[in-house]
Chain A
Amino acid sequence: MLTRREALLGTVTGAATAALMTAIPAARAAAEAQPVDMAKLPRERVELVAPPFVHAHRQVATGGPKVVEFQLTVKEQPMVIDDDGTTMQAMTFNGSIPAPMMIVHEGDYLELTLVNPETNEMPHNVDFHAATGALGGAKLLDVNPGEQATMRFKATRAGTFVYHCAPAGMIPWHVVAGMSGTVMVLPRDGLKDETGKPLRYDRIYYVGENEFYIPRDENGNFKNFESLGQSYDETLKLMRGLIPTHVVFNGKVGALTGDNAMKANVGETVLFVHSQANRDTRPHIIGGHGDYVWEQGKFANPPAKDLETWFVRGGSAGAALYTFLQPGIYAYVNHNLIEAAELGATAHIMVDGEWNDDLMTQVRAPALIASY
C-alpha cells in the first residue's frame, strides 16, 4: 500500500514533468520503429506483496522508461475458501488468491521470471492481457515442474489488466483454481480526469474476485479432494454448469472483513482496482460512490463520474477512485446481492473521521408511530 506521503510526492513530481509527457505517443511510435538498446535501460527489481495490498510505487514516473523485474513462483496447494473450512485444491502464483498486482508505467518493460518448482504436478504459464503477441506471453513462459522461464514485454497501453495461467487444454480450470492476477500500467504522468487534471490517491486496494466450483458429496457437503488430479473431473463437470458455489474477494469468504477489513479516513482518496479473470461482476460501495471510474480499466479513456455501480467484464480489471466523505463501516460488494450475501462477495471498509451533518443527518430516530 502506498503511504500518503509517497502519494503527495507523486503529485509534486507530476506537476514538474507533466509538460514532457504529452510527447509520449510520438515517442512510443519511434521506439517501436527502432530497436532499443536494452542494456542501457535502468533496471529495477520489485518484490511483490500479497493482496489486497500492492507494492510501493510512484503514481507519476520519474525519468525515462526502465525494465521492471518481477518473479512469480507457482504454488499448487490446498486452500481454505470459507469459514466452514471448505478446502479447494488450489493453484496459485506466489501462494495468494488473487495473484499479486504488478505496477509499471506506460513505456516501461515488464520482465517476468516464472518459476514452477518440481514439487508441483502441472505445467503452467502466464497470459498477460497487457502484453502484445505470443498469447499474451504464454507461449514464451510454458514451464513444467522443475523449470523456470523469463519473458519481457513492453507496457504500451495504460490501464489495469488481468493476467492468468493459460496452459493448453485446461485454461479455465487453472483460472478458477486461483491463477489470476492484475497488472497496472500507470500513465507516466499519473491518472487524470476528463480534462487532463491530475487525479491522485492516498491509498490503493486491490480487490481480486474469484468464483469457485466445489463439488458436493451425496449428503450435500463440500468435498475435500486429496490432490489436484483427483479434483479435476468433478470440478470440470460443475464448471460446465456455470453456477459457482463461492464468489469471493481475496480468495476466501470474509477475507476482507473483521480485522482484515480495508481501512481509510474521511478525506482520503482511495483507488480500488477490481479484477475478475473469468466472470462478469459489478462492484458497488454501499453508502459511497465511484467518483472517477475506469470501468474497462483503460486510462487513455476519460473516467466516468459519480457512478453507483460499475461493470467489470469477466477477463478484465476496472479501477474506481473514491474520496470518503463520511465515517463508518462501508460494505464493498458485488451488487448481485445474492452473490454478495450468500456466496461470499462482500468486503468491509472501516472509515474513521468526522461526520458531515450536511450530507446526512438523523432527523428523528426510530420511535413508536403513536409517539410521532
Chain B
Amino acid sequence: MRLMIPAMVATTVALMLAASPFLHRPASTGLAPVPTVPLDAGSFDFRLPGEYLEADWPVDAPKRKVTFRRRFEMMQYQVSAGDYARCVVQGACEALEGSAAASAKLPVTGVSYRDATAYAAWLSASTGENWRLPTDEEWAFAAAERLHDDALGLPRNTANPAERWLARYRAEAGAATRDAEPKPLGHFGLNSKGLADLAGNVWEWTTTCYMRATVSENGEVVDSNENCGVRVVAGRHRGYISTFVRDGRSGGCAAGLPPDNLGIRLVREQPSIIGYVRGMWARTMG
C-alpha cells in the first residue's frame, strides 16, 4: 500500500501536467522516439553477482528468487552512436575516443559507467522522462534465455585453486568468436521478450556494485563487502569494470577474457512526480 500512494499521486500529477504546454513542446534534441519493451512483473531465480567464498575457498554464487512487482520498460536496442553524439554536441556527454562514425545504426561503444550515467541524465532532462541504467537483476530478468549462468558447477576443491581459474577461462573462451567489431543494431536478433542484441559483442553497464561475500555451507551470506568503484557489466558473461574505464580490453586483468565492448541500454521508470518536476525544471532553466 505504501508503494501505491506515490504512484497514485504521480498519475494525478501526470494527468495535470499533460495539459501543460511544456510537455507538448517538441523536444529540441533531434531524438527519434525511443522504442522500448515492457517487461511485465514477475519472478525469476537470480545468480548473485560478485565473488563468494565458503570457508576461504571460492564457490559459485548462491541463487536468490527476485520478484519485480511492477512492470518496467527497457530500451529495445542499445543506445546508438548517433544518439550519444547528440548528447556530446549538447555538452552533456564527453566525446568518445577515436570518434567512430556517429552512426544511428551502430551501438555506441567505448563508454564508461560515468558516460552511461551522464547519457541517462541528459536523455531524462531532454525528454522529461526518467531514464536510468538497469540493475544487474533487471538486466538478467530481461535477458531471459540469453542470460549466461556463470556458475561453474565444480565441487569445492580445497586442494587446487587453479581448477576454477581454468574452468572460468575455458567457459568464457569457448563462448566467444572474438569478433569485437560493433555490428548494426539488431544484428544479434531479438530474445523471447523482444529485446535486441542482448549478449552480443557489446556489454551493457548496470548500476550493480561489485560484491565479495562469505557464505555459510547452506548458502547464507555471512559477511559481504561492496566496491562501488567497480560495477557489473552484463553480456555474454558477467564482467566487473571500474567506473571510469571505457575499454574493458585494456582495463581488464592480465589473464582473463574481458568484454569486447562497453555500451548502454537504459530503463525507463514509470512516470513519477520527481521525473516530471525534474523535466520541467530542465526545460525551464535550459
Which A residues fall within an 8 A CB radius of B?
83-85, 219-221, 254, 257-259, 261, 286, 326-331, 333, 340-342, 346, 348, 350-355, 357, 362, 364-368, 371
The answer to whether B166 has its CB under 8 Å from any CB of chain A is yes
| B99 and A352 form a contact (CB under 8 A) | no
Please give, as numbers and ranges, the residues of chain B lying within 8 Å of A348 by CB-CB distance.
169, 255
Chain B residues, CB < 8 A from A330: 255
Q: Determine if A362 and B169 form an interchain contact, defined as CB atoms under 8 angstroms apart.
A: no
Q: Is the pair B166, A368 in contact by a Cβ cutoff of 8 Å?
A: no
Question: Are A219 and B56 also in contact (CB < 8 A) when A258-B257, A327-B163 are?
Answer: no
Given the interface contacts A365-B53, A365-B57, does A84 sit within 8 Å of B162 by beta carbon?
no
Say yes or no: A254 contacts B178, CB within 8 Å.
Answer: yes
CB-CB < 8 A to A331: which residues of B? 254-255
Tell me the bound Cα distance from A366 to B57 in angstroms.
10
In angstroms, how far is the closest chain B Cβ from the Cβ of A328?
4
Q: Is B217 an interface residue (CB 8 A)?
A: no
- Is residue B148 within 8 Å, beta carbon to beta carbon, of the partner chain? no
- Whether a CB of chain A sits under 8 angstroms from the CB of B21 is no
Partner of A83, one of B160, B169, B178: B178
B19 interface hit (Cβ, 8 Å): no
B181 surroundings in chain A (CB, below 8 A): 83-85
CA of A367 to CA of B58 in the docked complex: distance in angstroms? 12
B181-199 interface with A by 8 A CB criterion:
181
The answer to whether B169 touches A329 (Cβ under 8 A) is: yes
Q: Whole-angstrom distance from the CB of B59 to the nearest CB of chain A? A: 11
Residue B98, interface by CB 8 Å = yes
- Name the one of A83, A286, A354 contacting B254, with C-beta atoms under 8 angstroms: A286
Pair B255/A286 contact, Cβ less than 8 Å: yes
Chain A proximity mask over B241-276: 1 for CB below 8 Å, otherwise 0: 000000001100011110010000000000000000
Give the top 7 A-B pairs by smallest Cβ distance, nearest first. Answer: A83-B180, A327-B162, A258-B173, A328-B162, A85-B181, A331-B254, A355-B160
Report the minimum CB–CB distance from A86 to chain B (whole Å). 9
Known: A83-B260, A362-B56, A365-B57. A258 touches B178 (CB 8 A): yes
Give the residues in chain B near A326, CB-CB below 8 Å.
162
Nearest CB in chain A: distance from B255 CB, A:
4
> Cα distance A174–B90 when bound, in Å?
46
Q: Is the interface of A mostly helix, strand, loop or mixed?
A: loop
> Which residues from chain A contact B166 at a C-beta distance below 8 Å?
327-329, 350, 352
Q: Which residues of A contact B255 (CB under 8 A)?
A: 286, 328-331, 348
Decide: A219 and B101 in contact? CB cutoff 8 A.
yes
B1 contacts partner chain A, Cβ-Cβ < 8 Å: no
- Given contacts A328-B166, A329-B166, is CB(A362)–CB(B161) below 8 Å? yes
| Chain B nearest CB, measured from A315 CB (Å) | 28
On whether A328 and B254 interact (CB within 8 A), knowing A85-B181, A219-B101, A254-B178, the answer reads no
Q: Hey, which chain A residues are within 8 Å of B57, CB to CB? A: 365
List 5 other contacts, CB 8 Å, given A259-B174, A355-B161. A326-B162, A328-B161, A329-B255, A351-B162, A364-B56
Whether B176 lies near A341 (C-beta < 8 A) is no
Chain A minimum-CB-distance residue to B250: A342
- Please indicate the chain A residues that have their CB under 8 angstroms from the CB of B169 in the complex: 261, 329, 348, 350
Interface string of B129-164 (1 = CB under 8 A from A): 000000000000000000000000000000111110
Q: Is B68 an interface residue (CB 8 A)?
A: no
Q: List 9 A-B contacts (CB under 8 A).
A: A83-B180, A85-B179, A220-B97, A331-B254, A340-B254, A342-B250, A355-B159, A365-B57, A366-B53
The B46-60 residues at the A interface (CB cut-off 8 A) are 53, 56-58
Contact of B165 among A219, A328, A346 (CB under 8 A): A328
User: Is the C-beta of B223 less than 8 angstroms from some C-beta in chain A?
Assistant: yes
Chain B residues near A364 (CB, 8 Å)? 56
Would you give the shortest CB distance from B160 to chain A, in whole angstroms? 4
B7 within 8 A of A: no
Contacts of A84 in B (CB 8 A): 180-181
Q: Which chain B residues border A328 with CB–CB below 8 Å? A: 161-162, 165-166, 255
Smallest CB gap from B58: residue in A: A365
Residue B212 is within 8 A (CB to CB) of chain A in the complex:
yes
Q: How distant is B54 from chain A, measured CB to nearest CB, in Å?
A: 10
Q: How many angstroms between the C-alpha atoms of A330 and B212 in the bound complex?
A: 24
**B160 near A371: Cβ-Cβ < 8 Å:** no
In the complex, chain A residues whose CB is within 8 Å of the CB of B165: 328-329
Evaluate whether A368 and B173 lie within 8 angstroms (CB atoms) in the complex, with A83-B260, A342-B250 already known.
no
Minimum distance in angstroms from B230 CB to a CB of chain A:
14
| Given A254-B178, A328-B165, CB of A354 within 8 Å of CB of B160 | yes
Taking CB as reference atom, which chain A residue is nearest B175? A258
Say if the beta carbon of B277 comes within 8 Å of chain A: no
Q: B225: CB under 8 A from chain A?
A: yes
Given contacts A346-B254, A365-B53, A258 and B176 within 8 Å (CB-CB): yes
A residues in contact with B174, CB < 8 Å: 259
**A328 to chain B: closest residue by CB:** B162
Chain A hits for B53, CB < 8 A: 365-367
**Cβ–Cβ contact A333 & B97, under 8 A:** no
Chain B residue numbers with a CB within 8 Å of A258 are 172-173, 176, 178, 257
Expressed in whole angstroms, the Cα–Cα distance for A364 and B56 within the complex equals: 6
Q: Is B214 an interface residue, CB under 8 A from the partner?
A: yes
Per the bound structure, the CA–CA distance linking A219 and B98 in Å amounts to 6
B100 at interface, CB cutoff 8 A? yes
A residues near B99, Cβ cutoff 8 Å: 219-221
Q: Which residues of B contact A365 (CB under 8 A)?
A: 53, 56-58
Contact residue among B163, B170, B223 (Cβ-Cβ distance under 8 Å from A367): B223
Cβ B173 vs Cβ A261 within 8 A: yes
